[in-house]
Structure 1
Amino acid sequence: MYILKMLRAKIVALSLIFVSVSAYEHTIADQCDWSGSGGGENGGVRPVYLRCARGTVLWRYPHGALRVVFSFPTSSTRNIPVSLSSLDFRTCVKISGPARVFLEAGRKLRQIYSPSDGKHEYSHRCFRSRKHVAALYMEAEDDYSFKSTKVKLQYDLELNSPKGGALHVPDEEEECRPCSMEELANAYCQSDLVATGTVTAVEQQLHLDAAELVLRITKILRQVQEAENNENIDITTCSKRSVRVRLPVMCDARHGPGEFVIMAKRRLGDLILVCAPRLETWEQIVREMDTAPCVLNS
């Protein structure tokens, strides 16, 4: 197949691209978003360098290929201990449009998206950086029926998990693991939403490889305001409002009686569960915790 032959040739060419990073860095290194059309000169690879915690790549009339390089913004690590600020990061993306997307893993390419891979475009596709950098190779589909469309990639970088990420286990298992007392305190202070409420349902979203907790809020304890066009995150102080919080389907979440404290973070327009202790457990932690990164409430 012609595309595969070209891809093998471009894998070899990637070693030359690494050398040219500094030539572009001074002009596009700190931007969050990129928008453009076409591809590299003479059908080559166009480099795109991004240093932001989140943003969007919009590729109109895609042709040829892009190499999108992510690195964590240094401005976001100013209040993070030195021991953590040098860690690698986790990137999650949402992708749609006529392109195949590959993750650079050493000198190999691992496909993470194609229009026909069977996964929903709202699925979160996550991967880890290598040596503080993550790079995606985006190749336009050679299908002329797609010429009037665009490729859209939304990304979100997480430097370190509120859970600490100390265990060497898959990300999904880490997200399913119950939080320790210290992790609960960190999650409370770092989460975008902390609210008490009851879980009215758990809905399996198999097309997203996820499940969603449907939570009826009784009280908002902490909320970070941010402009996002997503009804799931547009939460007001109005009581008894429902909100959806996503978690991996492998966590086998089930709902039962009682009130919980839901701690969630934003990722790609969705709320992702971090910790969910029972209210009585959290109240006891608030009473017993001697020190915490911020003031804890229940």
Structure 2
Amino acid sequence: MLLPWLAHWITAVLACRAVAQYSSDQCSWRGSGLSHEAHRRDVEQVYLRCSEGSLEWLYPTGAVIVNLRPNTEPPSGLHVCIKPHVYSQGSRVYLENSGDLRLLLADRDHRGEVRCFSLGEGALFVESVPQTDISRRITAFQYELVPSQGPGAHLYPYLHPASAACEPCSDEEVLMAVCTSDFAGSGFFGGAAAGPDERSLVTLSRLFHQKSGIFVWSGARGRRWTGRVFVPARCGARRGADEYLLTGSVHFGEAWLGCAPRYSDFHKLYVRAKEAGANPCHIKTRGGIPAQPAVE
């Protein structure tokens, strides 16, 4: 149940949303509570229209409502994932919908962990925690818009239960994953990182494409692409056993495994689809080791 003053506060803010100012940066927002008068409970309206970005609130006082409205097709099936920085403190983060609040992150709680919700569920209501000294308080988090469907989406643990992981992709999903995943290549699983990290060292003999610099070219030491990918331990990736097609997504700078059939099986599938004219894109499946991404 909301405190009476908080309910009145939110109601007043919702009533004046039509005249709210847009953020000058369409992806990220940075503000300071020092601009607020100490006796007022100011609420800042922020509108962000990108698929990823960040919020940084120095010396938080009052509250910030973050409206995520991407310039894309109707956002059905999209989720919002937020990841607070490890130093983030001074605020509580709620999911707000028509005046109702659901707590997502408490102050200093779960720092560095990810929380997700459906984009249609509402806006983020970031409320400062009353305190006498705000000099060292910074509230900061990253956000991403994440599709809940598609190749490998079931492996992202913050959207789906653990029971959904490790399910094999269909032939159609595999072919689409090569084209649309954040990274795609062929290679081998190496050793896993110690502890609960579940990141496996991956060595790629060929990189078809990648969204960011997750995989690094080590031409001076064996001419390979190397990087670490999150692979749930229960999925049974075995070190050096077989060559795999490796696809996946990148979230908050970290790679997560998606569709990953044995490469020999994928190659047969790719050849059949190519002969039938059913490939959504074309790649160089054979040949030497390229020093650059190999997409036709």
Instruction: Specify if TM > 0.5.
Output: yes
- Contact 2:215–2:226 (CA under 8 A) maintained in structure 1: no
Task: Flag the 1:196–1:67 CA change in 2: closer, same or farther, 3 A.
Answer: same
Partner of residue 45, structure 2: 47
Counterpart amino acid of 1:236?
W
Partner of residue 116, structure 2: 126
For residues 143-166 of structure 1, the C-alpha deviation after alignment (integer angstroms, 9 at most, x for no partner) is 445522311111111245323979
Partner of residue 56, structure 1: 54
In 2, distance between residues paired with 1:136 and 1:164?
A: 27
Matches within 5 A, 1:209-248: 211-224=198-211, 226=212, 233=214, 235-236=216-217, 238=219, 239-247=223-231
Query: Secondary structure of the residue that 2:20 maps to in structure 1?
Result: helix
4+ runs of 1 displaced by more than 6 Å? none
Task: Flag the 1:49–1:188 CA change in 2: closer, same or farther, 3 A.
Answer: same
Structure 2 counterpart of 1:93, from 75, 82, 86: 82
Task: Flag the 1:14–1:141 CA change in 2: closer, same or farther, 3 A.
Answer: closer
Query: Secondary structure of the residue that 1:28 maps to in structure 2?
Result: coil
In 2, distance between residues paired with 1:109 and 1:222?
A: 41
- Contact 1:30–1:52 (CA under 8 A) maintained in structure 2: no
Counterpart amino acid of 1:64?
G
- Contact 2:152–2:169 (CA under 8 A) maintained in structure 1: no
Counterpart amino acid of 2:47?
Y
Give the TM-score taking structure 2 as reference length. Answer: 0.77
Q: Quick check: 1:184 aligned with 2:213?
A: no
- Contact 2:151–2:181 (CA under 8 A) maintained in structure 1: no
Query: Secondary structure of the residue that 1:258 maps to in structure 2?
Result: coil
Matches within 5 A, 1:25-174: 27-28=22-23, 31-38=26-33, 42-74=40-72, 77=73, 85-96=74-85, 97-98=88-89, 99-104=91-96, 107-117=99-109, 119-121=110-112, 123-130=113-120, 134-159=122-147, 161-163=149-151, 171-173=160-162, 174=164
**Higher mean C-alpha deviation, range 251-260 or range 148-157:** 251-260
**Higher mean C-alpha deviation, range 155-164 or range 62-71:** 155-164
Rg larger for: 2
Give the TM-score taking structure 1 as reference length. Answer: 0.76
For residues 161-198 of structure 1, the C-alpha deviation after alignment (integer angstroms, 9 at most, x for no partner) is 323979xx962455543211111122111112112111
Partner of residue 18, structure 1: 14
For residues 11-47 of structure 1, the C-alpha deviation after alignment (integer angstroms, 9 at most, x for no partner) is 454344334333226x338711111101766113211
- Contact 1:57–1:154 (CA under 8 A) maintained in structure 2: yes
Q: Which runs of 5+ in 2 are unaligned?
A: 286-296
Alignment RMSD = 3.1
In 1, distance between residues paired with 2:195 and 2:15?
A: 43
In 1, distance between residues paired with 2:97 and 2:193?
A: 34
- Contact 1:28–1:48 (CA under 8 A) maintained in structure 2: yes
Query: Secondary structure of the residue that 1:183 maps to in structure 2?
Result: helix
- Contact 1:56–1:155 (CA under 8 A) maintained in structure 2: yes
Shift of 1:9: 3.4
Matches within 5 A, 1:230-269: 233=214, 235-236=216-217, 238=219, 239-247=223-231, 249=232, 252-256=234-238, 257-269=241-253
Q: Which runs of 5+ in 1 are unaligned?
A: 78-84, 227-231
Name the count of aligned residue pairs. 267
- Contact 1:175–1:274 (CA under 8 A) maintained in structure 2: no
In 2, distance between residues paired with 1:160 and 1:295?
A: 26
Partner of residue 80, structure 1: none
Partner of residue 289, structure 2: none
Shift of 1:90: 0.9
- Contact 2:217–2:226 (CA under 8 A) maintained in structure 1: no
| Identical-residue share of aligned pairs (%) | 24
